[in-house]
Amino acid sequence: MSFLPVTKEDMNARGWDEVDFVYVSGDAYVDHPSFGAALITRVLENAGFRVAFLAQPDWRSAADFGRFGKPRLGFMVTSGNIDSMVAHYTVAKKPRNKDFYSPGGRTGLRPDRAVIVYCNRIRELYGSIPIIIGGLEASLRRFAHYDYWDDKIRRSILLDSGADLLSFGMGERSVVEIANRLASGEDISQIRDIRGTCYSVDVRETPWQGAECPSFENVVNSKKEYAVSCRIQQDEQDFFRGKVIKQKHGNRMLVQNPPAMPLSTEELDAVYALPFERTYHPMYEKDGGVPGIEEVRFSIAHNRGCFGGCNFCSLAFHQGRYITVRSKESIIKEAELLTKLPDFKGYIHDIGGPTANFRRPSCDGQEERGLCKGKHCLAPVPCPNLKADHSEYLDILREVRSLPGVKKVFIRSGIRYDYLLQDKDDSFLKELVKYHVSGQLKVAPEHCSAAVLDKMGKPHIEAYIEFSKKYFSLSGKAGKEQYLVPYLMSSHPGSTMKEAVELAAFLKKMGIRPEQVQDFYPTPGTISTCMYYTGLDPYTMKEVYVARNPHEKALQRALLQYYIPENAASVREALISAGRRDLIGYGPQCLVTPSAPKKQNSNKGKNAGRKKK
C-alpha cells in the first residue's frame, strides 16, 4: 500500500475518476496510528471506500477544496489532533511560535476555528453535499460551550459549522456506518440513529427519549444553568447506560445519540494492523518533516480510555472512561515491525496510552452496569471495588524488551501512581524502575492542597509522597540514580493565593524545583472549565474560587518557581498578599530573602545633616 492520494494526479494514478470521500485535516498528513486522521482514513479505506486526503488546504478561497473534484459521498472534516485554538495560542492567549503538526513546525497553515472555516468553504463550493465533522475540536465542542478565547458561550459547533453530522469520541464505528448508509443511497438528513453521532432537527421533531440540557439561550443567561448542563453532559457519556442528550438552540434541537460501543480487543487489533506508512508524507521532506511524529514514531498505543477522570482533562468526554486494550500478540507484532524500520536505533519510546498502566476496567461491575455516575475511581481515595493488576502489562513489557534488536523499552505516556500503589504485587514497580525509566519518570501530582486536588478530581498528596519513597528506595536498590519529574498546575479553580503558597512551601520542603509549570488552560468540554467560567462546582453547585486576573495568575505561577531570581519580587508580593511574611527571610523554610533596601542618593546623604542657612 501507499499514502492516500493528496493531489488529483495521485488520484488519477490509481485509476480513479472520483473519490468517495475527501478527508480534510488542519494537520499535515501523517500516516501513523497515533494520529486520529490516519486511523479514520485507513479504516474507511479498509471498508472499501476511496478516500483522498486534503491536508491543510488554503482556506482563503474555496478553490483548494475542489482539488479532487466533487466526492461521490461527501466530506469528512477535522481540525487535526488538537483543537485549533489550543494549537495556535498559549494560555496567555499569545500566538505560539511553533506548530508541531505542521511541516517544519511552521505556524499559520490552518485557520482559527478550522472546522467551521473548512465547512463554510465546502458549502460555498458544493452546496448541500454531505459534511461529517469529527476529531477533538468537534467532539469537545458538540454542545453549547464556554470558549476561553472569545470569553463567551458559543453554540454547538455542529450548528456553527453547518455540517450535517458530528462524530464524537473514537469514530471508527460511526464513520464506517455513516459511509455505508450514504453509499446505499440514504439521505444524510435522515441518518439520526447512529451511536457516537450528533445531529440537529427542527424542535418539532425532537425525539421524546433522553435527557434534556438547559438550552443555549438559558446557559448564556445563567451560569447556574450552564453548570447544570455540564453535569448532564458529563454524566451521560458512558456507553453502557448513557442516554440521548438534547439541547435546544433557538428553533433547532441538537441531539447527541449515546456514545459508540467501544471496539473489542479483536477489532482494535485489526485497526492497528492496517497498512500505515508510519511517517509523514514525503512532500514534507523539503520542510524538514513534521515535528509531531518524533515523539510517537517508535511508540506503541496499547489501550484506550481512562477511568482516572481528572476534571481538567477532556479524555472522559472524548474517549470515555471505559478501558479497551489491544492483545499481547498485536502489541508484539507492532514492536517487531518497529525493529525493522530503517531508522530504528533499538529504543521503543513508549508502550502506553492515555494512562500507560491501565489494562483492565477499574472494577468488575462495569460489564453489567457501566461506570458509576458522578464518581471518581481513584479520588479522593481509591474505590473499595477497584481492581489493580499489572500482571498482563508487565508480561507484555517483558516480552517486548526481549525481542531481538530492542535495547530498551521506555514508558513515557505517564502512569497513575495512585493506581500502582493499590497493586499488592510490587513486581511492576520494581521492573519499571529497573528497566523502563530513562533517568526520570514523569508523574502528575498537580498540586498538594487537598482543597484544590478535590476540585481537580485528583488523589491527595499523601499518595505521591508514598510513591516517591518507594520509587527512590527501589531506584537505590537497583543501583540507579533516577528522578521524578512532577507535573504541577497553577491557578486551577479552587486555588487561592493561600493554596499556591502551600504548594510552594511543599516544593521547598521536598526539594522539588520544577523546570516547567502549567497554568490552568480552560479548554472546551471539561468540568474544570465549567468551574472556571461559572465559579460553581457542577456536582455540588457550591461556589469555587477562580483566579482570573492575569497578575494574580502570574503570582501563583511564580510561587511554584520561587527559586528563580527573576521571580523574587513576585514571590514576595504573593507571600505578603497571602499573609505569609514568615516565608520571607533566611530560615530553611523561607522561599525568598527580603528585598535589598534601596540605596539613598549620595548627595541627599551628604546634605542630610546640614543646617539651613
CATH of the domain at 67: 3.40.50.280
* Residue 252 DSSP symbol: E
Which stretches of 261-370 are assigned E, i.e. beta strand? 279-280, 299-301, 303-304, 324-325, 347-348, 350-352
Q: Is the pLDDT of residue 438 over 90?
A: no
419 and 466 in one domain?
A: no
| Domain end residue (candidates: 382, 403, 438) | 438
| Domain end residue (candidates: 136, 163, 194) | 194
CB 78 within 8 A of CB 135: yes
419 and 326 in one domain?
A: yes
Phi/psi zone of residue 501: left (φ > 0), alpha (ψ -120 to 50 degrees), beta?
Answer: alpha
pLDDT digit string, tens, across residues 278-296: 999 999 999 999 999 998 9
pLDDT digit string, tens, across residues 462-520: 999 999 999 999 999 999 999 999 999 999 999 999 999 999 999 999 999 998 889 99
Residue 612 located in a structural domain = no
pLDDT digit string, tens, across residues 331-385: 999 999 999 999 999 999 999 999 999 999 999 988 888 899 988 999 999 999 9
Q: Is the pLDDT of residue 600 over 60?
A: no
Instruction: Please tell me the predicted confidence (pLDDT) of residue 461.
Output: 97
Question: DSSP string covering 122-176, please?
Answer: HHHHHTT--EEE-HHHHHHTSSSEEETTTTEEE--HHHHHT-SEEE-SS-HHHHH
Spell out a b/e string for 444-470, using b for 16 or more CB atoms within 10 Å of the CB, else e.
bbbbbbbebbbbbbbbbbebbeebbeb
pTM of the complete model beyond 0.85: yes
Q: For 58-72, 385-399, 585-599, which range has the lowest pLDDT when averaged over its residues? A: 585-599
Q: For residue 62, give the amino acid letter.
A: A
Taking CA atoms, 263 is separated from 49, 118, 171, in Å, by 20, 29, 10
pLDDT band at 140 (very low <50, low <70, confident <90, very high): very high
Q: Is the pLDDT of residue 131 over 60?
A: yes
Considering only CA atoms, which of 229, 235, 313, 225 is closest in space to residue 522?
Answer: 313
Q: Where do the H-state alpha helices sit in 377-496?
A: 391-401, 417-421, 427-435, 450-456, 461-477
pLDDT band at 599 (very low <50, low <70, confident <90, very high): low
> Domain count of the chain?
3
Q: How many C-beta atoms lie closer than 10 Å to residue 406's C-beta?
A: 18
Instruction: Please tell me the predicted confidence (pLDDT) of residue 529.
Output: 98
Considering only CA atoms, which of 103, 59, 101, 52 is closest in space to residue 80?
Answer: 101
Instruction: Please tell me the predicted confidence (pLDDT) of residue 612.
Output: 40
Q: How far apart are CA 256 and CA 199, in angstroms?
A: 7
Helix (H, G, I), strand (E, B) or coil at 279: strand
Instruction: Please tell me the predicted confidence (pLDDT) of residue 613.
Output: 36
Residue bearing cell 493506581: 419
453 and 421 in one domain?
A: no
Q: How many C-beta atoms lie closer than 10 Å to residue 472's C-beta?
A: 15
Instruction: Please tell me the predicted confidence (pLDDT) of residue 611.
Output: 42
36 and 83 in one domain?
A: yes
Q: How many C-beta atoms lie closer than 10 Å to residue 303's C-beta?
A: 24
Considering only CA atoms, which of 454, 451, 522, 512 is closest in space to residue 485?
Answer: 512
| Domain end residue (candidates: 438, 458, 478) | 438
Q: Is the pLDDT of residue 601 over 60?
A: no
453 and 368 in one domain?
A: no
Helix (H, G, I), strand (E, B) or coil at 53: strand
Q: Average pLDDT of the chain?
A: 94
Domain interval for residue 486: 441-596
| Over residues 2-18, mean pLDDT | 96
